[in-house]
Amino acid sequence: MDIARAMLALTFLVWQALIFRSDYVLANRPVSSMSIRKPRSTRAGRVTMQEVADRAGVSAITVSRALRTPDKVAEAVRLRIAEVCRELGYVPNHAASALASARSQTIVVLIPSLSNVVFVDIITGIKDVLDEQGYHLLIGVTGYSPDAEEALLRKYLQHLPDGLILTGIDHNPGVWALLRAQAMPTVHTIETLPDSEGMSVGFSQFDSGYAAGRHLVERGYRRIGIVGAQLDPRSLRRCEGCRQALRDAGLHDPALEIMTPEKSSIALGATLLETLLAQHPDCDAVFFCNDDLAQGAVFQCGRLGVSVPGRMALVGFHDFAGTAWTTPPLSTISTPRYEIGREAAQLLMRHLAGQPIAQRHVDLGFTLVQRETS
């Protein structure tokens, strides 16, 4: 038995040496001595790894190794394979690679909107981390629809992602069922979950709204309005936080609220501010669930000759890039959007690497930024 094992080991070493010598000789052979085939564009079908191997004069295994672990392939061989890939327009089949390796190097991120800077900032933070780790980003846009989120999740799970990053904690039962059935590593963003549910990175929407309402109360305003748009669960929770602060101070008046499912925008903020003042001229302060609404209100106050903050105080939410440059500069709640994205991606990477995770739910907090509108 020992003799048989020794012979088998010797045979394997000889085979490895022959493959290495073959690859080395072929890699250094003049291109003119290589077999020349017609460009793939003249033949029907997808370019295969075997065709790349044939053109480069190496084995398909060597091509696979050069693409997946280039540091394990001789430089001359690697460069020749790269040149042939460019010539033939070869693109590796990551789906097949995922099946073979149980890793797709892809992370699916589902967000409500690509036009909302909140989610652009989060995506940027995620991408910066994934780029560092060699992962690809697959983005799905749900349009704030729970049903669309579930449909996209079902579709993207077919791509065999290594993990998911979702927006918020309000999902259809079907989404929760999918996550549990697939045992898919998932990080929820913008809010934090109870300890029993996966991983999450965010802040308290309710507490941040409460802080805005409390700020206006402490500044001496008494007829405080609340303006909400889009009315996704996060906007509703921050409005409820502000509402609770007014209740605690004995100042809440439901008549001073305007809540609309319309998409949040500067133009909408200007319109709603004018509507609120027309209906309730005694309103002396307003909390807006998004900065674009509040920016529109600042502009409209300037057009109407309404003194800010003398006649009207305004507070926004999120601290967008232009918020500090309105006239006067807008008070707001600053939220760590980029940091949420980075931390969510880092948390997922640690999980995929099998590293211990001390804190599965990370609250990054928020900051009340008082400027000149309050």
* pLDDT computed for residue 103 by the predictor: 65
Residue 35 lies in a domain: no
For 33, what's the count of Cα atoms within 13 Å in the CB-facing half-sphere?
6
Query: Given a cut of 90, is residue 13 above it in pLDDT?
Result: no
* pLDDT computed for residue 88 by the predictor: 87
pLDDT confidence tier of residue 92, bands split at 50, 70 and 90: confident
Q: What is the average per-residue pLDDT within 213-234?
A: 98
Assess contact for 217 and 277: CB atoms under 8 A.
no
* pLDDT computed for residue 12 by the predictor: 42
Residue 111 or 103, more confident:
111
Q: What is the pLDDT of residues 120-156, one digit of tens each?
A: 999 999 999 999 999 999 999 999 999 999 999 999 9
Point out the domain boundary residue: 41, 66, 92.
92
Which percentage of the chain shows pLDDT scores above 90? 73
Distance CA 361, CA 203 (A): 10
Q: How many separate domains does the chain show? A: 3
* pLDDT computed for residue 194 by the predictor: 79
Which is it for the CA torsion 86, 88, 94, 100, positive or negative?
negative
| Residue ranges making up the domain that contains 136 | 104-203+339-364
Residue 34 lies in a domain: no
Please tell me whether residues 241 and 199 are part of one structural domain: no
Q: What is the pLDDT of residues 332-342, one digit of tens each?
A: 999 999 999 99
Residue 353 or 103, more confident:
353
Residue 307 lies in a domain: yes
Please tell me whether residues 228 and 251 are part of one structural domain: yes
Query: Given a cut of 60, is residue 299 above it in pLDDT?
Result: yes
Please tell me whether residues 114 and 259 are part of one structural domain: no
* pLDDT computed for residue 94 by the predictor: 59
* pLDDT computed for residue 31 by the predictor: 42
Strands 331-334 and 367-369: antiparallel
CB neighbourhood size of 30 (10 A) = 6
* pLDDT computed for residue 21 by the predictor: 45
Please tell me whether residues 308 and 162 are part of one structural domain: no
Query: Given a cut of 50, is residue 244 above it in pLDDT?
Result: yes
Q: What is the CATH number of the domain that holds 357?
A: 3.40.50.2300
* pLDDT computed for residue 93 by the predictor: 67
Query: Given a cut of 60, is residue 252 above it in pLDDT?
Result: yes
Please tell me whether residues 169 and 65 are part of one structural domain: no
Please tell me whether residues 214 and 315 are part of one structural domain: yes
Residue 98 lies in a domain: no
Query: Given a cut of 60, is residue 214 above it in pLDDT?
Result: yes
Instruction: Pinpoint the alpha helices (H) of 113-220.
Output: 117-133, 146-157, 173-182, 205-218
Q: What is the average per-residue pLDDT within 195-214?
A: 93
Please tell me whether residues 115 and 217 are part of one structural domain: no
pLDDT confidence tier of residue 246, bands split at 50, 70 and 90: very high
Please tell me whether residues 329 and 348 are part of one structural domain: no
* pLDDT computed for residue 223 by the predictor: 98
Q: What is the CATH number of the domain that holds 54?
A: 1.10.260.40
Please tell me whether residues 251 and 304 are part of one structural domain: yes
Q: What is the average per-residue pLDDT within 61-71?
A: 84
* pLDDT computed for residue 102 by the predictor: 54
pLDDT confidence tier of residue 195, bands split at 50, 70 and 90: confident
Residue 347 lies in a domain: yes
- With tokens 């609120």, the residue in question is 276
Please tell me whether residues 199 and 217 are part of one structural domain: no
* pLDDT computed for residue 324 by the predictor: 97
Residue 30 lies in a domain: no
* pLDDT computed for residue 68 by the predictor: 77
Distance CA 152, CA 150 (A): 5
Q: What is the pLDDT of residues 348-365, one digit of tens each?
A: 999 999 999 999 999 999
Residue 23 lies in a domain: no
Residue 91 or 45, more confident:
91
* pLDDT computed for residue 33 by the predictor: 41
* pLDDT computed for residue 91 by the predictor: 78
Please tell me whether residues 212 and 330 are part of one structural domain: yes
Residue 66 lies in a domain: yes
Strands 199-202 and 361-363: parallel
Please tell me whether residues 132 and 122 are part of one structural domain: yes
